[in-house]
Structure 1
Amino acid sequence: MALNRQLWIAIASVMVIAFISSLAISFQSARAYFEEQLNLKNIDNANTLALSLSQVEKDPVLIELMIAAQFDTGHYQRIELNDPDGGVIAARTRSADHVDDVPDWFAELAALRVDAGIAQVQDGWKQFGTLHVESLTGFALEALWDTTVELFAWFLGIAVVLGLLGSVVLKSLTRPLDDVVRQAEAIGNQRFITTPEPWTLEFRRVVKAMNVLTGRVRRMLAAERSRLDEMRQRLQRDALTGVGNRNRFNDVLTALLADDDANRQHGLYLIRVVDLADINRDLGHQETDALLRQITTRINAVVERYKEHFTDEHIARLNGSDFAVILTDLLDIDPIAKELEAEMQEIASTQVGDTPIRLALSADTFGPEQDRAAIMVQLDDLLARAEHEQKTCLARSTSENSAVLLHGNDAWRAILRSAIHERTIHTTHFPYQRLEGGLIHREAMVRLKKDGQTWTAGQFLPWARRLGLLAELDLVIFEKELAQLASDSAASPIALNLSIETLLDESTRNRLMSLLATYETLATSVWIEIAEKAVVHHPAAFSEFCEAATPRGYAVGIEQAGHRLMDIETLHELGLAYLKLDRSLTADLTGAESNRNYLRGITGMAHSIGLIVIADGIRSSEDLITVGELGFDGASGPALNP
């Protein structure tokens, strides 16, 4: 039972006991008062009547008349005159009166016990008789009932007022308790948040202890993030320009070529500063460095302008003069290629020294399962052709990828809207296993059926993103997967990918949360993951989603993680369940020890706040052993599912 309820029951019990006690005491006091007053009245009336009788002749008729006259005033139940031997001289009696306005149970409970008034009647110097006078108790009983009802009304009114005041005071006193409970639940869900310390001493001590714990976790994570960021910069970043280095480029390219979806298409651009050594001698070291940084800035600007056309960008400096740009899920390389060419021509036009500045560019598409050497040879050949032109220009491949030519904008819009309306989207599932054995979940990979064909995510999701239909696709997938899970009680847990577009659109976000509320009983079997890039760019939307989903029991995680975890400052407050590291981080597990140390640091930091860490795309048994040694909890790939 909740503490608030227990406190209210305790206060209510005390008030009821006090109310009943006060009413009982008041009732007994009032009854005693009425009994005392009636007894005094009986004695006074008996003495008065006895005195009157003593002064008149003792004629039986006269005595009878006087007693009858006194009795008929209506305030007596019995007047009786007895001779010294006990015989009745004269008597008037009335049966016990019944008061209509007084309930029988109260009359029985509050029956007044009043002794009769007794007085002696004299005849000269002799005793004539003894007079007994008893007053009616009905009037007193009715007055006692009215008094009791009035007391009850007053006590009840006061109790209600005190109850309301008590509720307000209790709510004020226990309001900090709600914050304590929320913080405790948050810590239990791996959300290390702080709350203001309440003024109540006991609550303040509890909150202070939990705030201290949160502070320690926060400082520990800050130190670990700083260490990992420094390691990442050293391992994967070019010190001069801040973009990725050759190792980073190789890891990304290896991971993309090993992708399970053979229909994905990516764009690859190479940019070379021709005769960089001559430029360096002419301009000097500092000016040359400034030139290289300017080239990086222009590349970033172009990529930012076209960010809706691809999923992820990877910019790297391969050596002193060469830059590479990989854009995943890119449908058409030409618009960005032309923009890059224009930007590089503008840089070349601002020549400072005697040596002309020329930049050569090449562009091509590639996909999974292509030969790495063939891709690079093709781009190098295109780059050589661009250099041969003796000016800043671009050379691109003339081959066209079928994914681009499959349909145009209007056709894809019609196909996707039809699929959303007719629910022709379905999924296949890829298992993620715990390293010690057992299934973590099955990740749902979306597929689309149309005219007897089945298209993979790599063929239609880039178009859905460009056409603004990703959020609608997410809702269809969630509806179908949750309904399927509800219909099969023996189904294993599933993982569903969620695009940030769904959370940024208020309508689809509300529909999603309504759907999750409907299937809340399945929450422990549903894992929801969002790409790290989306979390970094839209932290508020992701945090709001976590606050709504994790208390319901849904496991929320970050996929393609590991490159920018250090930029998520509130990682310890989100209540996440897992991290699924980007496969480019595990592409070269047999390489330098420093790369393995970086992965070991990520798993250690994640475990410190209760997250499990999953490796993606593990292909060999040797790599599987290595990820276990590095602290990973689970993995996927051919090594686990040959």
Structure 2
Amino acid sequence: MSLLNQIIAAVFAVLIGLVSGTIYIMSDSSKSMLTSQLQSHSKDTATNLGMHMAPFIAAQDSAAIETIVNAIFDSGYYEKIQVTNFDNEDLFTALRSPEISDEVPRWFIKLIAFDTPNFKRAVTHSWSKVGFVEVKTRAGYAYEELWKGTQTTLIWFISLSLISVLFISSLLRLILRPLKSIEAQAIALSNKEYIEETKLPKTKELRSVVITMNSMIARVRTMFNEQSNNIEELRRTAYLDDLTGLANSRSTLAQLSDKLDNRDDEGPCTLYYVHIANLNALNEKLGQENANNLIKQLAEKLNTLGDTHTGAIAGRLSGSDMLLLIPQPDSDTVAREVNSLLDAYTITFNFFNPDAATQIPVHIAAILAGDDISSAQILSTARIAIDEAIGAKQASIYKTLSDTDLQTSSSDWSAHVADAVNQKKVFFQYQTLVDSQNSKVVHKELLVRILNQTGEPCAAAKFIRIVQQLGLIEALDKAALEQAVSYLDSHNDSEPLAINVSLQSLEDGNFDQWLMHTIADKAIQGRLNIEINESSVLNNVSRIASFRQLLTKNGIGFGVDNFGVHPSGFSYLYQVHPDYIKIDGSLCQQITSNAEDRFFMGSLVTVAKSLSIPSYAQRVEQSEQIEQLRILGIVATQGFIHGIPENLNNQ
């Protein structure tokens, strides 16, 4: 029971005690007064009857006596009126049953018990006693009158008490209203959410409590921000290039290996390898500061191009080498983007070196690779191509390591993809997320597939670009979600499922309503998780936070995918507070051999744990990694070590 209700209950209990005591006191007082009145009434009645009936009693005229007595007795106030002669011989007796009306409760009669007054008076006539008149009032009349008075008092008292309770309740609610905000702060704090109350109460004690709570929350938030900033600084030092802000060599190679060497949902890709020839001579000619500014401008333009491609990797391998890996563009797009980069680099170079009459010392190798090419192969091919471009004095050079791109660029393939999405001809493969302690399946992450023209399963990376170009990403998300919900509803014994949804779908104004309609009356509570890529979360934190609240209300879990690699940090965890995070696989590749990676991973887990958010790891391939991740606090792992993707409908 809340404090407010306890106070109201206490006030009401006091009022009940007051009304009970008041009724008892009033009843006892009324009883004494009524007894005196009845006694006086009996005496007066006996006296008056004696005076009027004296001649008739002397003459022993029973008929006249009966007439006079009945006239008085019929009023209902008396239980007995008896007239006797001087020898106590009965001349007339009027009797009425002593029963009390049913309107008077039995408990009231027992509570207010009293004796009915009985008065006997001698009657004289012609200076001699001729008889007696005995009058006894009716007890029922006394109880009925007393009960009526008690009822009236009780009704008034209850009415006034209710009015008082309502008034006191309203007053207390007004006074104690700040306690609601304090309670909300405490609940939020227990959920690792930090809310400061801006409106301070006027009551001195409550004001002090609110100020103290705000101070504590501010200190906790400051501690978390400091921890986040320290870890973010560590990430920048360990994984980012100081000059350009791109991923440094170690981070770039780890991300390339994670994406290309451990493929489970990646298709063909293209690598743009940018090389600045004779960097030492350029430093001497332009000066160290201008040369550095030139490199930063080149890196910024490369990174800007990467932002236009989902899942791109931009990094700096050395002082003169940078790269950008993008998923599956067609040949025309590659040529257009390479020319765009060269034009931008020419303008930038001429700005820093306006007197240059020779070709800019920047060479770009574009390597179109299929889904069977490793990171080592694509890098070695790019470096050889750069050497060829330098030798031939070419600004750009193109190499193809696979013919798989031809299929994805054809109009037939685009039509096939559009038909599959529009007809909802999608299906699932899955990878299991396995608990690090007991090897139980935590959930199955769904991987969306379609069949290609030859009837073979096709990974999302091979058709997602077409889906985006055709504006069908929302249709794909909805088709996948419908199938996932239907599967869970028809398979009550299934492990929980996790499915990725794009930010583009969430930003559609009708998506929430559609989702609520889709899951209505479906037995999926606690069995479905929706994941959003960290980059998408950071692009619209407020929308993701509201969507996460909607999912929570409907028993659907929410996770952040590819956590820990975005340069904007992870302070958004405060606002979004996901049910779990999946740490990007590139951070796990060297976890057993690199102390810096272990420290950074442990720091990420610590930050998430401070908000009661469990941490999972992606793309885990070795048992040694699982053990090391478990020591660092990773709750569950996902990767090829737990098996290759399997068809969901085979389960």
Same fold per superposition (TM over 0.5): yes
Higher deviation after alignment, 228-237 or 137-146 = 137-146
Question: Where does residue 255 of structure 2 map in the other structure?
Answer: 252
Question: Where does residue 437 of structure 1 map in the other structure?
Answer: 438
Q: Deviations over 1:175-231 (max 9, x none)?
A: 556556555554555545556787889988998887677556534432322222222
Q: Once the 2 structures are TM-superposed, how far is the Cα of residue 612 of structure 1 from its aligned partner?
A: 3.0
Q: Deviations over 1:401-433 (max 9, x none)?
A: 4333364656543431211xxxx3221221222
Q: Once the 2 structures are TM-superposed, how far is the Cα of residue 49 of structure 1 from its aligned partner?
A: 3.5
Aligned partners of 2:289, 2:141: CA distance in 1, in Å?
A: 114
Is the contact between residue 283 and residue 353 of structure 1 (CA under 8 Å) also seen in structure 2? Answer: no
For residues 153 and 104 of structure 1, do their structure 2 counterparts lie closer, same or farther at Cα, with a shift above 3 Å needed?
closer
Task: Give the share of equivalent positions with the same residue, in percent.
Answer: 21
Aligned partners of 2:479, 2:21: CA distance in 1, in Å?
A: 65
Question: Where does residue 347 of structure 1 map in the other structure?
Answer: 348
Matched, 1:44 2:44: yes
Q: Deviations over 1:454-499 (max 9, x none)?
A: 3222223333344444344334433433443344443333333233
Aligned partners of 2:102, 2:620: CA distance in 1, in Å?
A: 91
Matched, 1:280 2:280: no
Residue 317 of structure 2 aligns with an amino acid whose one-letter code is: L
Q: Once the 2 structures are TM-superposed, how far is the Cα of residue 257 of structure 1 from its aligned partner?
A: 0.7
For residues 165 and 339 of structure 1, do their structure 2 counterparts lie closer, same or farther at Cα, with a shift above 3 Å needed?
farther
Is the contact between residue 338 and residue 396 of structure 2 (CA under 8 Å) also seen in structure 1? Answer: yes
Is the contact between residue 193 and residue 573 of structure 1 (CA under 8 Å) also seen in structure 2? Answer: no
Residue 321 of structure 1 aligns with an amino acid whose one-letter code is: S
Q: Once the 2 structures are TM-superposed, how far is the Cα of residue 437 of structure 1 from its aligned partner?
A: 3.3
Q: Once the 2 structures are TM-superposed, how far is the Cα of residue 575 of structure 1 from its aligned partner?
A: 3.9
Is the contact between residue 449 and residue 457 of structure 2 (CA under 8 Å) also seen in structure 1? Answer: yes
Q: Residue 560 of structure 1 is aligned with which of 546, 559, 562?
A: 562
Question: Where does residue 233 of structure 1 map in the other structure?
Answer: 236
Matched, 1:540 2:542: yes
User: Which secondary structure state, in structure 2, belongs to the residue aligned with residue 269 of structure 1?
Assistant: strand
Is the contact between residue 434 and residue 636 of structure 2 (CA under 8 Å) also seen in structure 1? Answer: yes
Aligned partners of 1:174, 1:549: CA distance in 2, in Å?
A: 33
For residues 57 and 162 of structure 1, do their structure 2 counterparts lie closer, same or farther at Cα, with a shift above 3 Å needed?
closer
Q: Once the 2 structures are TM-superposed, how far is the Cα of residue 98 of structure 1 from its aligned partner?
A: 9.3
User: Which secondary structure state, in structure 2, belongs to the residue aligned with residue 221 of structure 1?
Assistant: helix
Matched, 1:218 2:221: yes
Is the contact between residue 226 and residue 566 of structure 1 (CA under 8 Å) also seen in structure 2? Answer: no
Matched, 1:619 2:618: no
User: Which secondary structure state, in structure 2, belongs to the residue aligned with residue 360 of structure 1?
Assistant: strand
Higher deviation after alignment, 168-177 or 500-509 = 168-177
Is the contact between residue 104 and residue 144 of structure 2 (CA under 8 Å) also seen in structure 1? Answer: no
Q: Residue 361 of structure 1 is aligned with which of 344, 361, 364?
A: 364
Q: Residue 116 of structure 2 is aligned with which of 114, 117, 125?
A: 114
Q: Deviations over 1:128-152 (max 9, x none)?
A: 2222234567776665554444334
Q: Once the 2 structures are TM-superposed, how far is the Cα of residue 370 of structure 1 from its aligned partner?
A: 0.3
Q: Deviations over 1:61-103 (max 9, x none)?
A: 77964773464254354443222332123x3626459999957
Question: Where does residue 313 of structure 1 map in the other structure?
Answer: 312
Q: Once the 2 structures are TM-superposed, how far is the Cα of residue 531 of structure 1 from its aligned partner?
A: 1.3
Aligned partners of 1:474, 1:40: CA distance in 2, in Å?
A: 96
User: Paired residues, what number?
Assistant: 630
Question: Where does residue 410 of structure 2 map in the other structure?
Answer: 405
Aligned partners of 1:339, 1:303: CA distance in 2, in Å?
A: 13
Question: Where does residue 123 of structure 1 map in the other structure?
Answer: 125
Aligned partners of 1:444, 1:405: CA distance in 2, in Å?
A: 28
Question: Where does residue 586 of structure 1 map in the other structure?
Answer: 588
Aligned partners of 1:406, 1:590: CA distance in 2, in Å?
A: 46
Question: Where does residue 427 of structure 1 map in the other structure?
Answer: 428
Question: Where does residue 160 of structure 2 map in the other structure?
Answer: 158
For residues 128 and 43 of structure 1, do their structure 2 counterparts lie closer, same or farther at Cα, with a shift above 3 Å needed?
same
Matched, 1:417 2:422: yes
Aligned partners of 1:191, 1:551: CA distance in 2, in Å?
A: 17
Give unmatched runs, 5+ long, in structure 1.
none
User: Which secondary structure state, in structure 1, belongs to the residue aligned with residue 275 of structure 2?
Assistant: strand
Q: Once the 2 structures are TM-superposed, how far is the Cα of residue 450 of structure 1 from its aligned partner?
A: 6.8
For residues 10 and 355 of structure 1, do their structure 2 counterparts lie closer, same or farther at Cα, with a shift above 3 Å needed?
same
Is the contact between residue 274 and residue 365 of structure 2 (CA under 8 Å) also seen in structure 1? Answer: yes
For residues 107 and 168 of structure 1, do their structure 2 counterparts lie closer, same or farther at Cα, with a shift above 3 Å needed?
closer
Is the contact between residue 81 and residue 95 of structure 2 (CA under 8 Å) also seen in structure 1? Answer: no
Is the contact between residue 534 and residue 563 of structure 2 (CA under 8 Å) also seen in structure 1? Answer: yes
Is the contact between residue 407 and residue 413 of structure 2 (CA under 8 Å) also seen in structure 1? Answer: no
Q: Once the 2 structures are TM-superposed, how far is the Cα of residue 42 of structure 1 from its aligned partner?
A: 2.0
Q: Residue 605 of structure 1 is aligned with which of 604, 607, 625?
A: 607
Q: Deviations over 1:554-590 (max 9, x none)?
A: 5432221112386232424644343221111223346
Q: Deviations over 1:142-165 (max 9, x none)?
A: 655544443343234334434434
Residue 635 of structure 1 aligns with an amino acid whose one-letter code is: T
Higher deviation after alignment, 435-444 or 95-104 = 95-104
- Computed over aligned residues only, the root mean square deviation of the Cα atoms, in angstroms, reads 4.1
User: Which secondary structure state, in structure 2, belongs to the residue aligned with residue 567 of structure 1?
Assistant: coil
Is the contact between residue 536 and residue 567 of structure 1 (CA under 8 Å) also seen in structure 2? Answer: no
Higher deviation after alignment, 166-175 or 584-593 = 166-175
User: Which secondary structure state, in structure 1, belongs to the residue aligned with residue 423 of structure 2?
Assistant: helix
Give unmatched runs, 5+ long, in structure 2.
645-651
Residue 429 of structure 2 aligns with an amino acid whose one-letter code is: T
Is the contact between residue 520 and residue 553 of structure 1 (CA under 8 Å) also seen in structure 2? Answer: no
Is the contact between residue 550 and residue 575 of structure 1 (CA under 8 Å) also seen in structure 2? Answer: no
Q: Once the 2 structures are TM-superposed, how far is the Cα of residue 447 of structure 1 from its aligned partner?
A: 1.7
Is the contact between residue 613 and residue 634 of structure 1 (CA under 8 Å) also seen in structure 2? Answer: yes
Residue 547 of structure 1 aligns with an amino acid whose one-letter code is: Q
Is the contact between residue 58 and residue 131 of structure 2 (CA under 8 Å) also seen in structure 1? Answer: no
User: Which secondary structure state, in structure 2, belongs to the residue aligned with residue 42 of structure 1?
Assistant: helix
Q: Once the 2 structures are TM-superposed, how far is the Cα of residue 299 of structure 1 from its aligned partner?
A: 3.3
Aligned partners of 1:469, 1:198: CA distance in 2, in Å?
A: 53
Aligned partners of 1:329, 1:300: CA distance in 2, in Å?
A: 17
Aligned partners of 1:585, 1:272: CA distance in 2, in Å?
A: 26
Aligned partners of 1:251, 1:262: CA distance in 2, in Å?
A: 17
Matched, 1:511 2:514: yes
Aligned partners of 1:5, 1:464: CA distance in 2, in Å?
A: 58
Question: Where does residue 647 of structure 2 map in the other structure?
Answer: none
Higher deviation after alignment, 104-113 or 557-566 = 104-113
For residues 5 and 560 of structure 1, do their structure 2 counterparts lie closer, same or farther at Cα, with a shift above 3 Å needed?
same
Q: Residue 301 of structure 2 is aligned with which of 298, 302, 308?
A: 298
Aligned partners of 1:369, 1:149: CA distance in 2, in Å?
A: 94
Question: Where does residue 326 of structure 2 map in the other structure?
Answer: 327
Question: Where does residue 649 of structure 2 map in the other structure?
Answer: none
Aligned partners of 1:166, 1:401: CA distance in 2, in Å?
A: 80
Q: Deviations over 1:518-538 (max 9, x none)?
A: 557641x44432211112222
Q: Residue 455 of structure 1 is aligned with which of 453, 458, 464?
A: 458
Q: Once the 2 structures are TM-superposed, how far is the Cα of residue 121 of structure 1 from its aligned partner?
A: 1.6
Aligned partners of 1:165, 1:573: CA distance in 2, in Å?
A: 40
Aligned partners of 1:213, 1:548: CA distance in 2, in Å?
A: 29
Q: Once the 2 structures are TM-superposed, how far is the Cα of residue 275 of structure 1 from its aligned partner?
A: 4.3
Residue 445 of structure 2 aligns with an amino acid whose one-letter code is: E
User: Which secondary structure state, in structure 2, belongs to the residue aligned with residue 315 of structure 1?
Assistant: strand
Aligned partners of 2:508, 2:480: CA distance in 1, in Å?
A: 17
Residue 426 of structure 1 aligns with an amino acid whose one-letter code is: F
